[in-house]
């Protein structure tokens, strides 16, 4: 039985988020900044974020949009990893607030057609990132492999990167398999991982089990029940290698409810209330503060937030649509509300 009526948590960090571009950006940024103090903004825009001047402009747009709901919101920036990026360019990017570069294997997800097709072609840039203390975030799926095996096959490459670049900080993003969880646990402390909210809630059954649920379709796909269990165990364990990166990835309703639907789950507005529910149900609420507002900051060498948020026990119904997007848990009732 739940007796708590109020929960105080650190102001959360989201170490993996998409806010898109153009007219829709402001709404998505405001949803994000209403829940999080800092967010790591992904670079899979069109055109992709590959140079300092673009990233500086993008960051400014994000902060302008965030101002209305959270003037203290911090946008932590990333660039898309490509062969040939120079040390000079990396230094410029760093000075614009870039803290990580994102490795997208070619074609595995939204706007990744221009991703990496030759693994070793990006090693020189990765070596520079290691030297300059820029984190490497990896979308760990192997192109062309059967969809449920893409992450476990790519895991070998993460292991190679960890061996070849021992001082490089690597984040294996949005884990979806027990194999990847085990690998991250086994590798040294310079390798960590993000876990999304949706990968803590469902196996592939939640996407295609009893009905086709386009708003749960995402990359990497949620996998088997045993993978789901391994992810929950990792998130609930208090191991500092695992922290929140929501991969909140808005696509307009019509792009999802389509004969060729886009991958992405929109969780920005519901992530924290759902995590409270899940951590409470697993009797590990004491592990939530580090998962949402501690371990990620530590890994990225950022100061832990001193600010807090308050949730109250006050059931509310998640809207059917937010900014033209069907959010995770749409129309469902959640018990905990951020105030």
Smallest distance, ligand DOR to C-beta of residue 21, A: 12
Say if CB 155 and CB 180 are below 8 A apart.
yes
Three-state secondary structure of 262-296:
CCCEECCCCHHHHHHHHHHHCCCHHHHHHHHHCHH
Say if CB 62 and CB 300 are below 8 A apart.
no
Distances in Å between the Cα of 1 and the Cα atoms of 201, 280, 281 are 21, 10, 10
Say if CB 210 and CB 161 are below 8 A apart.
no
For Zn ion, the closer CB: 109 or 203: 109
Q: Which does 194 bind (CB under 5 to 8 A by kind): Zn ion, ligand DOR, none?
A: none
| Distance (Å, whole) CA 221 – CA 204 | 7
Smallest distance, ligand DOR to C-beta of residue 198, A: 9
Smallest distance, ligand DOR to C-beta of residue 33, A: 18
Q: Which does 216 bind (CB under 5 to 8 A by kind): Zn ion, ligand DOR, none?
A: none
Smallest distance, Zn ion to C-beta of residue 86, A: 26
Say if CB 171 and CB 187 are below 8 A apart.
no
Q: Which of 13, 14, 227, 247 is catalytic?
A: 247
Q: Which does 219 bind (CB under 5 to 8 A by kind): Zn ion, ligand DOR, none?
A: ligand DOR
For ligand DOR, the closer CB: 247 or 278: 247
For Zn ion, the closer CB: 197 or 309: 197
Rounded (10°) CA dihedral 165, 42, 7, 287: -20
Write the DSSP symbol of residue 203. Answer: -
Binding site for Zn ion (CB under 5 A): 42, 247
For ligand DOR, the closer CB: 20 or 38: 20
Smallest distance, Zn ion to C-beta of residue 280, A: 27
Binding site for ligand DOR (CB under 6 A): 18, 44, 109-110, 139, 218-219, 247, 249, 263-264
For Zn ion, the closer CB: 141 or 247: 247
Q: Which residues contact 154 (CB under 8 A, 6 or more apart)?
A: 105, 140, 141, 142
Cα angle, residue 10 at apex, residues 9 and 15 outer, rounded to 5°: 120
Q: Catalytic: 247?
A: yes
Distances in Å between the Cα of 178 and the Cα atoms of 41, 144, 233, 295 are 26, 21, 10, 20
Catalytic residue list: 247
């Amino acid at each position: 039985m739940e007796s708590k009526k109020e929960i105080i948590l650190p102001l959360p960090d989201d170490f993996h988020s998409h806010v898109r571009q153009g007219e829709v950006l402001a709404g998505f940024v405001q949803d994000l900044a209403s829940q999080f103090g800092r967010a790591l903004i992904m670079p899979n825009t069109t055109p992709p974020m590959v140079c300092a001047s673009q990233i500086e402009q993008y960051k400014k747009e994000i902060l302008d949009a965030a101002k209305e709901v959270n003037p203290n919101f911090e946008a932590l920036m990333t660039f898309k990893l490509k062969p040939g990026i120079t040390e000079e360019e990396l230094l410029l990017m760093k000075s614009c607030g870039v803290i990580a570069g994102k490795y997208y294997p070619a074609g595995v997800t939204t706007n990744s057609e221009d991703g990496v097709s030759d693994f070793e072609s990006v090693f020189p840039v990765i070596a520079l990132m290691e030297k300059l203390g820029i984190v490497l975030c990896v979308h760990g799926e192997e192109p062309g492999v059967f969809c449920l095996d893409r992450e476990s096959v790519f895991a070998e490459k993460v292991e190679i990167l960890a061996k070849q670049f021992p001082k490089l900080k690597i984040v294996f993003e949005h884990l979806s398999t027990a194999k990847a969880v085990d690998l991250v646990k086994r590798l040294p402390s310079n390798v960590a991982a993000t876990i999304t909210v949706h990968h803590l809630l469902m196996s592939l059954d939640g996407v295609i089990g009893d009905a086709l649920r386009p708003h749960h379709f995402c990359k990497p796909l949620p996998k088997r029940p045993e993978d789901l269990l391994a992810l929950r165990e990792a998130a609930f364990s208090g191991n500092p290698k695992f922290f929140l990166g929501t991969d909140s990835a808005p696509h307009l309703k019509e792009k999802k409810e389509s004969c060729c639907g886009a991958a992405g789950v929109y969780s920005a507005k519901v992530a924290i209330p759902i995590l409270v529910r899940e951590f409470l149900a697993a009797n590990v609420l004491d592990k939530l503060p580090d998962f949402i507002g501690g371990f990620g900051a530590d890994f990225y060498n950022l100061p832990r937030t001193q600010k807090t948020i308050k949730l109250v026990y006050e059931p509310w119904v998640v809207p059917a649509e937010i900014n033209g997007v069907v959010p995770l848990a749409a129309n469902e009732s959640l018990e905990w509300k951020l105030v």
